[in-house]
Chain A
Amino acid sequence: MHPILKLVAQRLSLGILLLFAASALLFGLTEILPGDAAQAQLGQSATPENLANLREEMGLNRPALTRYAEWIGGILTGDMGNALSNKLPIGEQIGKRLGATMFLAFWAALISVPVAILLGLVAVRYLNRWPDKVISGSTLAAISLPEFMIAYILIFVFAVKLGWAPSFANVPPDMRLLEKLHSISLPIAVLTMVVLAHMMRMTRAAILSVMQSAYIETAELKGLSSFEVIRRHAFPNAVAPIVNVVMINLAYLVVGVVVVETVFAYPGMGQYLVDAVVKRDVPVVLTSGIIFSAVYIILNMIADIVSILSNPRLRHPK
């Protein structure tokens, strides 16, 4: 078998194994959470009797392993079950929420990834001169501020003072694309600022480390211009670390947007999960959790595979 196929197959099986491990971990963690859905629903009016009844009704009394097996079995067959709190099918709910989150993440990534890489290249080209300093300084400032802070500043300036963009990111399904984009412009801006610095700095560092190589000197002695040296000789060899950091940030855009979604009241996965945790709605928490895990694992697996593919020694063995 071609060594690449073998490596990719290895990564894939490792990913699946990891996903199972994550599911067990998630389940274990929800088990040790204090309180349960019955308690959360009954609240102050809980008596030992109706608690026991509700638990029986929700199926919380059965052994943990049985519940775990049922849950995993359900996911594998595409049936995610119903929420405990409102009895609605989880699959349908998550479908809508995940779509909204992906929509936001997609547009934020579409802007931030190219901008980050371009800024990284520019910073290397003008290393230690003012463009580098301005880029490094401003992106560092953006990453150092908490997201909600950036969000409120943007809301204050662009929504309240200037009135250019709405402070609530509402995207009903019948909205036209341009209107939707206008509606989520502020959340996109916040997310872009947050992930930009990390990706840009990593791109800069990766290219800088490649720039120390002897083949860069060869390229410079061929009389190529600085940008050509970076684009043709440095960048192809810096792809692996750059893809890695891009993937981590893409995962963050999907998984880590809780704060931003809450600030802008955006109906995505983050809000849904927070809501479910409050209600101790374990099936929803578990299913959201496993979807987040899957996103992380898949994106990192793609990064791994791209790294492998970008290595000519593996692509073209002797």
Chain B
Amino acid sequence: MSSPLLSVRGLKIGATVCPPDAKPHDIKIVHGVDFDVEAGKVLGLIGESGAGKSTIGLATMAYGRGGVKITGGTIFMNGRDVLQSDWRDVRNLRGAEVTYVSQSAAASFNPAKRIMEQVIEAAVSQSKFSKSDAQARAVELFRKLDLPEPETIGDRFPHQVSGGQLQRCMTALALCPEPDLVIFDEPTTALDVTTQIDVLKAIKEAIRDTGVAALYITHDLAVVAQVSDHIMVLRQGEMIEYGTTDQIINAPVDEYTKALVSVRSIDHKEKPPSGEPLLRVQNITARYRGTKFDVLKDINVDLHAGQTLAVVGESGSGKSTLARVITGLLPAREGVVNFNGRELPPELANRSQDDLRELQMIYQMADTAMNPRQTVGTIIGRPLEFYFGLKGAEKQKRIKELLDEIEMGDGFIDRYPAELSGGQKQRVCIARALAAKPKLIICDEVTSALDPLVADGILKLLLDLQKVEDVAYLFITHDIATVRAIADSIAVMYQGEVARYGGKTEVLSPPFDDYTDLLLSSVPEMKLGWLEDVIANRKMQSGGN
């Protein structure tokens, strides 16, 4: 048997971190990892954030972000030790033998240069191809990746194509120099599900047709199951489990892998609506100032006390704009919002303190929603002071109650946001919203930035709190699994309109309208061959029409 294309042994990676209030010190990110990638095969690296996936991927190109350093082990690529190579060899390796596809193509393309120039740059500067050959090859790749107008799309600037298209251009960029290995680092994570499926298909076919090997990094097991031959599960810089894709998905051995496979285990029965709705959104039409385009068109939805309405849709569907209208940040052009039996003034400035108190909001980025210079106690205490005038011991008591409610305990009172994990930060934001004793909390993608297991914990917490506090949630998300876990009723939004609306079971059961069908069928399932099935199904349908 020939030696593998990439062979990593005992890889140790560390970094020097400089926290604001402490001396710089060294931390360990990866503690000795071994793996091989055979020529033409795909290895999936899976794990939560902080598991060291990207760090390992970049290390194979002898690259470390910021203060990241490779502290031990060997990396053999094409039989050559990457870590012992001088800079000239490293430069010949990068962009020629190993290439990289990042999560955000939008950020990874230079905004000042045309796409073609960037796609062929590595191939030309490494003298693998002449300029005209590289261009011909790029056009061929554009065609293979199903990009529109493959002949001329390279003449555009990155901002002139859509996110999904740019992600495919990034794949073309990586494949253009005919590398032996491509590192895909969460290439579809930033995309909508309906876009993700196209990009996934394009990547999979490109890998198959060019015979290139790949390291596919993602946190989404369902996605990696579609493209890889083997999967390695990582946690906190250590390998937890390694096996064929089939084994990892269908017969995981390690407890952690089992948890990853069975994530989103919440079984939530929908509650039937009763009585008058708490929130009535009636005929809302809205547009942003200075534009001539309605972002929301005639929206009608109801939400009952103590229930959850999930507003689901892709980026640009208007779901966050709906939240802005309800909170008064964007006054509607037409229509009214009824809340708790009264009509809410459209403008935030005209709303009473009770209007503000009873309607709270939690955001996607807990990081930026908190003042980094305030302690957890100050953050949660502020609404207590502002709405209820609580002070001193009374306030402290209530803060402790709230911290207990979010399952964190009063040891966190004097901590700063920077000292909390992502999930803990989001919990503090939930406590801050609850402190106002609201009737309705608008949750805008609150679990999207979190790892699946952590997100699962947040959803469970939200459901528990709903039972105790009888609070209603308007839950904005793009993730169907989250919707299944938490919703009582669902509004599917598409291009500023409600495409489908009703109780959870009703909305998620056939017969579907075209858009909901597309949306639901695009959600990756943890099943081998799912991607092929969906694509075959769609071809059949479009052939039948």
Contacts and interface: CB of A to CB of B under 8 A. Distances in A.
Interface residues of B, number: 32
Candidate in B58, B65, B93, B160 with the most chain A CB atoms within 10 angstroms: B160
B61 interface: yes
Contact of A316 (B65, B90, B108, B157): B157
Interface string A153-197: 000000000000000000000000000000000000000000000
Nearest to B117: A232
19 contacts: A214-B102, A215-B108, A215-B111, A217-B108, A218-B100, A218-B118, A221-B99, A222-B94, A222-B121, A223-B93, A223-B94, A223-B96, A224-B95, A228-B125, A233-B113, A237-B112, A312-B112, A312-B159, A316-B160
Interface in B439-464: none
A219 B93 contact: no
B91 interface: yes
A218 B91 CA distance: 13
A114 B156 CA distance: 31
B104 interface: yes
Interface in A197-233: 213-215, 217-225, 228, 232-233
A214 B515 CA distance: 34
Given A221-B61, A221-B99, A215 B107 contact: yes
A41 B191 CA distance: 78
B362 to A, nearest CB: 28
Contacts of B108: 214-215, 217-218
A313 B65 CA distance: 29
Nearest to B87: A225
B224 to A, nearest CB: 22
Nearest to B107: A214
A313 B125 contact: no
A285 B96 CA distance: 65
B211 to A, nearest CB: 22
Interface residues of A, number: 22
Interface string B149-181: 000000011011000000000000100000000
B176 to A, nearest CB: 10
Given A221-B95, A232-B113, 14 more contacts: A214-B108, A218-B100, A218-B118, A219-B110, A220-B94, A221-B61, A222-B121, A222-B122, A223-B90, A223-B94, A223-B122, A224-B95, A233-B110, A312-B112
The 5 closest A-B pairs by CB, nearest first: A223-B95, A222-B95, A223-B94, A214-B107, A222-B122
B125 A221 contact: no
A236 interface: yes
A217 B104 contact: no
Contact of A312 (B58, B95, B104, B157): B157
Interface in B65-112: 65, 90-96, 99-100, 102, 104, 107-112
Contact of A222 (B104, B112, B125, B159): B125
Given A215-B109, A218-B109, A313-B159, A225 B63 contact: no
Contacts of A221: 58, 61, 63, 94-95, 99-100
A318 interface: yes
Contact of B110 (A215, A313, A316, A318): A215
Interface string A233-253: 100110000000000000000
Candidate in A219, A223, A313, A318 with the most chain B CB atoms within 10 angstroms: A223
Contacts of A237: 110-112
A255 B223 CA distance: 63
Contacts of B92: 223
B125 A223 contact: yes
B126 interface: yes
Interface of B: 58, 61, 63, 65, 90-96, 99-100, 102, 104, 107-113, 118, 121-122, 125-126, 156-157, 159-160, 173
Contacts of B159: 312-313, 316, 318
B113 to A, nearest CB: 7
B75 to A, nearest CB: 15
A21 to B, nearest CB: 27
B522 to A, nearest CB: 25
A313 B160 CA distance: 8
A312 B110 CA distance: 10
Nearest to A315: B157
A223 B102 contact: no
Nearest to B124: A222
A219 B94 CA distance: 10
Given A213-B107, A214-B108, A236 B91 contact: no
A214 B63 CA distance: 14
A228 B111 CA distance: 17
A214 B100 contact: no
Contacts of A316: 156-157, 159-160
A316 B111 CA distance: 11
A225 B107 CA distance: 21
B269 to A, nearest CB: 44
A220 B125 contact: no
Contacts of A318: 159-160
Candidate in A220, A222, A237, A313 with the most chain B CB atoms within 10 angstroms: A222
B107 A236 contact: no
Contacts of B125: 222-224, 228
Contacts of B126: 223
A306 B93 CA distance: 38
A223 B501 CA distance: 51
Contacts of B112: 236-237, 310, 312
B113 A223 contact: no
Contacts of A313: 111, 157, 159
A38 B469 CA distance: 84
B104 A220 contact: no
Nearest to A233: B110
B100 A236 contact: no
Interface in A107-127: none
B126 to A, nearest CB: 6
Contacts of A220: 63, 94
Candidate in B65, B91, B156 with the most chain A CB atoms within 10 angstroms: B91
A222 B91 CA distance: 8
B78 to A, nearest CB: 15
Contacts of B61: 221
Contacts of A236: 110, 112-113
A225 B102 contact: no
A217 B65 CA distance: 9
Nearest to B155: A316
Given A217-B65, A218-B100, A218-B102, A225 B109 contact: no
A286 B110 CA distance: 48
B42 to A, nearest CB: 19
Contacts of B94: 220-223
Given A218-B102, A318-B159, A224 B110 contact: no
A139 B99 CA distance: 40
Nearest to B112: A236
Interface in A268-318: 310, 312-313, 316, 318
A96 to B, nearest CB: 43
Contacts of A214: 102, 104, 107-108
Contacts of A228: 125
A252 to B, nearest CB: 28
Contacts of B90: 223
A221 B108 CA distance: 11
Contacts of B104: 214
